[in-house]
Amino acid sequence: MTQHGNTQPASAAFGRLTPLKIIATGAALPPTKVTSAELDIRLGKPPGFVEKRSGIDFRFHGSDSASQVELAVAALRDALNRQAIAPESIDLLIYASAIPVQALPFSAAHVLKASPLKKGISSFDINTSCVSFISALQVAAGLLSTGAYRRIAIVSAELASRGIDWEHEESSIILGDGAACAIVEQGDGQSGILSCLLETYPAGIDLCQIRAGGTRRNPRAGLHHSDFLFQMDGKRLFRQAAALIEGYWQRLLSSAGCSLADLATVIPHQASHVSLEHMRRRLNVPTDVLIDIYRQHGNQVSASIPTALHYAITHDRFKPGKPVALVGTAAGLTLGGMVLMP
Amino acid sequence: MTQHGNTQPASAAFGRLTPLKIIATGAALPPTKVTSAELDIRLGKPPGFVEKRSGIDFRFHGSDSASQVELAVAALRDALNRQAIAPESIDLLIYASAIPVQALPFSAAHVLKASPLKKGISSFDINTSCVSFISALQVAAGLLSTGAYRRIAIVSAELASRGIDWEHEESSIILGDGAACAIVEQGDGQSGILSCLLETYPAGIDLCQIRAGGTRRNPRAGLHHSDFLFQMDGKRLFRQAAALIEGYWQRLLSSAGCSLADLATVIPHQASHVSLEHMRRRLNVPTDVLIDIYRQHGNQVSASIPTALHYAITHDRFKPGKPVALVGTAAGLTLGGMVLMP
């Protein structure tokens, strides 16, 4: 991304950048806070077990009738309201999430319908599972550079609780629901993407999945109750990601023309406390550089990265001239990351 | 799309264009040809009924165990082989379809795994239901313009037969399976997008849908057998699209800086014989300008437009200097179209 095409000179210290300005962010959570103490009781564990095992104080779960669309719209409204952005100024809505609302039509149309945005604008879904938001930022920068759109809203929303397998201890206690939004423009060329790197290694495709939802498992092709539930082989997933992450990180930083020491903030996917700590150590990221909201959110699938970005922005950790990295591993297996100049 | 940013001068006669060169296309079909005479028997209709009602001689249906991924890979291989393109030269795979393989992870990872493409490249899904391929072309042009990628494969694949409601006469007889692929580069600036217009009017979101597949309908939220099937209110959908299509078409042509007479070829979504003929008349498209492969394919959902594009290219209907329009209406309700300079 740093070598060719419609890029602008960045700060002399770094590589060239693709213009992109985040002009607003927002987030939303369902109303029900689920503490780890409550899960101890639900799962018949001794007090403190779930908190220790999951590394979470509380996460938020929607009810069985909660709407993923309403959660998405709440995050979008939050972003619009915080910066007093006129809804009719948005000309593209991208829904960037791992799980859709339904098989047909695409989820962005559902979100557009329930949103204050102008009907008749462009909208589509992008999906790279847990790093969908990173893909959407890269796609948005491209579309802004060709002048196809002027102001783009990106929304990631997940009701992970809807797919929890309560028989599977490891995954059931880490997942949380939530949504987040970013509104972007091309900007003046001072802000943008220094590098973006998405790498998919599909040998690990079955290690993290929900088999129902499309043509693979349904009443005609064959279907089992477990096909609707989130399945994860945490150990093998962890091993595969761990073998790749260091080389990946070096490629991401090197294509940004920067070093770890240049990064003011690192915003990781909030996968689990073990994976966060492992990644932090392997990549030598100082604790005070990392954004870690996992203990109060859990793993919110695709909503984790934009929720953590929103946290960084609202806590003064995303400042002009100081590069910020987004990074995560995702079902696929995909490694996704981006170095942004705020 | 024609006013701003990284665009190039096109032929003096037209507007400015966003560079995009289609360097290869391919298509694939499942092995089983289903004639309308066979459906007469299956549905207990008199001979000739289904052919007359559907306007189709035959469509292709995969078996209940057929793989959407294998169909996608067959189309990708066809495109690679026809132009002797090295698989390792592709640096991004976009899966641009209405229906996914499964809820998690995204379908492009499944296609990448089964494909001859290099593992570790970037991949993601784009979904705008039946006009997903048009969104993907627009997104690809943006990503090529920023230098993020150099050669992108876009694949649309559908096993519509998997979701046919055989109790619903109208939709059951028109759907066909298939896949198609286009491989694109930035090119030399002579070929590209003169205009692209995607408009979503979600008031019609329930008129064409499959309710299962995501968080809206599943065992936890409530689920009925019919939620897995394709549901369509053809009359209302037709009325809504008909009310919008003429104004939309004028906006698309006007933003391309061209008139209907400039178009060498119009490649529509192959929705149904009635809608194709209606659109052709309302938009005043001469019969010999329209690509109509419906009678031998049926409605292949998102695979229709790229399959018809592949037909146009292999039948000498996509030639330098002569603008070509892609256009369709899609579940959403979305109107999508693009004027390309080949």
Task: Examine the domain organization and report whether A277 and A292 are in the same domain.
Answer: yes
Q: Which pLDDT band, with edges at 50, 70 and 90, does A11 fall under?
A: low
Show which of residues 173-202 on chain A sit within 8 Å of chain B, judged by CB atoms: 186, 196-202
Q: Which pLDDT band, with edges at 50, 70 and 90, does B11 fall under?
A: low
* pLDDT tens column, B139-175: 999 999 999 999 999 999 999 999 999 999 999 999 9
In a domain, A264, yes or no: yes
Task: Examine the domain organization and report whether A27 and A174 are in the same domain.
Answer: yes
In a domain, A111, yes or no: yes
In a domain, A2, yes or no: no
Task: Examine the domain organization and report whether A33 and A176 are in the same domain.
Answer: yes
Is the model's pLDDT at A7 over the cut of 70? no
User: Residue A88: phi, psi to the nearest 5?
Assistant: -75, -5
Which of A188, A204, A238 is the endpoint of a domain?
A188
d(CA A60, CA A35): 8
Classify B22 in phi/psi space as left (phi over 0), alpha (psi -120 to 50) or beta.
beta
* pLDDT tens column, A52-71: 999 999 999 999 999 999 99
Out of A3, A146, A334, closest to residue B142 by CB: A146
Cβ of B105 within 8 Å of Cβ of A209? The answer is yes
Is the model's pLDDT at B42 over the cut of 90? yes
Cβ of B120 within 8 Å of Cβ of A203? The answer is no
* Mean pLDDT, rounded, for A308-331: 97
Q: Which pLDDT band, with edges at 50, 70 and 90, does A207 fall under?
A: very high
Residue with token string 């003046």: A188
Q: What is the pLDDT of residue B328?
A: 96
User: Residue A147: phi, psi to the nearest 5?
Assistant: 80, 10
Sequential DSSP letters for B176-226: --EEEEEEEE-TTSSSEEEEEEEEE-GGGGGGEEB-BSSSSBBTTTB--GG
In a domain, A11, yes or no: no
Is the model's pLDDT at A4 over the cut of 70? no
Task: Examine the domain organization and report whether A130 and A252 are in the same domain.
Answer: no
CA-nearest residue to B196 within chain A is A148
In a domain, A3, yes or no: no
Q: Using a CB–CB cutoff of 8 Å, tell me whether A171 touches chain B.
A: no
Task: Examine the domain organization and report whether A205 and A141 are in the same domain.
Answer: no
Is the model's pLDDT at A8 over the cut of 60? no
* Mean pLDDT, rounded, for B54-81: 97
Task: Examine the domain organization and report whether A176 and A312 are in the same domain.
Answer: no
Domain holding A271, by residue range, is 193-341
Is the model's pLDDT at A2 over the cut of 70? no
* pLDDT tens column, A247-275: 999 999 999 999 999 999 999 999 999 99
Looking at every residue in chain B, the average pLDDT score rounds to 95
* Mean pLDDT, rounded, for A85-93: 98
d(CA A312, CA A319): 10
Which of A188, A221, A250 is the endpoint of a domain?
A188
In a domain, A182, yes or no: yes
Taking every pair of Cα atoms in chain B, the longest distance, rounded to a whole number of angstroms, is 59
* pLDDT tens column, B227-264: 999 999 988 998 999 999 999 999 999 999 999 999 99
Is the model's pLDDT at B207 over the cut of 70? yes
Q: What is the pLDDT of residue B145?
A: 97
Q: Which pLDDT band, with edges at 50, 70 and 90, does A12 fall under?
A: low
List % helix, strand, coil for chain A (3-state, nearest 5).
35, 25, 40
Cβ of A205 within 8 Å of Cβ of B109? The answer is yes
Is the model's pLDDT at B3 over the cut of 50? no
Number of domains in chain A: 2
Q: What is the pLDDT of residue B12?
A: 53
What ipTM is given for this predicted complex?
0.96
Task: Examine the domain organization and report whether A56 and A184 are in the same domain.
Answer: yes
* pLDDT tens column, A237-254: 989 999 999 999 999 999
Is the model's pLDDT at B2 over the cut of 90? no
In a domain, A5, yes or no: no
Q: What angle do CA B133, B134, B139 make, to 5 degrees?
A: 95
d(CA A237, CA A204): 7
User: Residue B105: phi, psi to the nearest 5?
Assistant: -80, 175
**CATH number for position A272:** 3.40.47.10
Classify A14 in phi/psi space as left (phi over 0), alpha (psi -120 to 50) or beta.
beta
Task: Examine the domain organization and report whether A176 and A257 are in the same domain.
Answer: no
d(CA B155, CA B72): 6
Q: What is the pLDDT of residue A202?
A: 96
Which of A188, A207, A235 is the endpoint of a domain?
A188
Alpha-carbon gap: A148 to the closest alpha carbon of chain B (Å): 4
Q: What is the pLDDT of residue B15?
A: 79
Show which of residues 88-107 on chain B sit within 8 Å of chain A, judged by CB atoms: 98-107
Which two structure tokens, joined as six digits, stand for A191? Answer: 């802000």
Q: Using a CB–CB cutoff of 8 Å, tell me whether B209 touches chain A.
A: yes
With CA atoms as reference, report the closest residue to B128 among A194, A172, A126, A224: A126
Residue with token string 């784009």: B126
